[in-house]
Chain A
Amino acid sequence: SAVISQKPSRDICQRGTSLTIQCQVDSQVTMMFWYRQQPGQSLTLIATANQGSEATYESGFVIDKFPISRPNLTFSTLTVSNMSPEDSSIYLCSVVAGNEKLFFGSGTQLSVL
């Protein structure tokens, strides 16, 4: 199994500012995934973060808006840049561990005013 510590758990931010979300995993994992969950919606994959290489972004998401760092095999950050109210969502990090099982962090609930 894998235990993921994600912070902050929630934040209220002003339009035009940036927020960095951190995820720490208790074991080494090759890939970490960042998801967005807009109000009332299911999860949408933002990007896959591999250690030592640039993140792979899904259609509709760009590095300038959602820069990701992956400095080692247990840690990753996602930054939401130049925020607007449309960025208000829950942001989730996840990893695959043991038998292709998906584990999630506790989520970051972001509200942009």
Chain B
Amino acid sequence: KQEVTQIPAALSVPEGENLVLNCSFTDSAIYNLQWFRQDPGKGLTSLLLIQSSQREQTSGRLNASLDKSSGRSTLYIAASQPGDSATYLCAVIPRDYGQNFVFGPGTRLSVLP
């Protein structure tokens, strides 16, 4: 059964710092991995999608990497800003479409001005 964990559970950094969020999954048979941002009480906003054949994806100050063999993905945020404060979740899309997407518990990020 696929399980997804995220470390750290919470992170507080001063503005301007570069930071890395980690996502680990137990079954490497995945189709995609997707990173989301969630503001309090709101829905999820897609940040980056990495297909299983890809190693990384970039969008602006965000870079996500995927190492399927070791069951790990990282989300790198450069030059963090207070507006980046949110919860970041990763989700694994299984190769077998009959299975459900599996979400990690999230990392709660606070960027202090």
Q: Enumerate chain A interface residues (CB-CB to B < 8 A).
A: 6, 10, 33, 41-43, 45, 58, 90, 92, 94, 99-107, 109
Contact = CB atoms under 8 A, between A and B. Distances in A.
A107 B106 contact: no
Provide the main secondary structure of the chain B interface: strand
Contacts of B20: none
B51 A102 contact: no
Contacts of A103: 46
Nearest to B41: A109
A42 B42 contact: no
A100 B46 contact: no
Contacts, number: 50
A95 B7 CA distance: 27
A104 B41 contact: no
A94 B89 CA distance: 15
A4 to B, nearest CB: 8
Given A101-B49, A104-B43, A42 B106 contact: yes
A18 to B, nearest CB: 21
Contacts of A92: 43-44
